[in-house]
Structure 1
Amino acid sequence: MLLSMSAVLLLGLFIWFLLRIRYLRWADALLCGTFGFLLARTVAAPAVQMLLTGIGAILGQLRF
């Protein structure tokens, strides 16, 4: 658990740095943050995974 929290913290700091130098857009930061939560398996990971599953189900039901 301690290692995963450190990984999320480091990823967050790296994303913050990229945002400060205006190299990263907000949408990219959101994707990086989501990936970090899923990869690190923190306490918040199940909630993020459920949200992504729900969004995927909604998008799967759309008919164009």
Structure 2
Amino acid sequence: MALSISAAVLLGIIVAVLLKGGHVRSDSALACTLFGFTLAATGLAPAINSGLTSIAGLLSSL
């Protein structure tokens, strides 16, 4: 059985776990989130998306 999960959901879960464990403060998590939204609006977004798609394809073939 294959499980499909969005990268946004997976990263959101990781951030929630890090916040709950006290490894990341809420202001740092907010700054990283805002940076991600800002980065998504730049010309670098297609290259990042392509890289994530390649990594996901590589992991799914394992």
TM-score, structure 2 as length reference: 0.44
Higher helix share: 1
TM-score by length of structure 1 reads 0.43
Larger relative contact order (Cα-Cα within 8 Å, sequence gap ≥ 6):
1
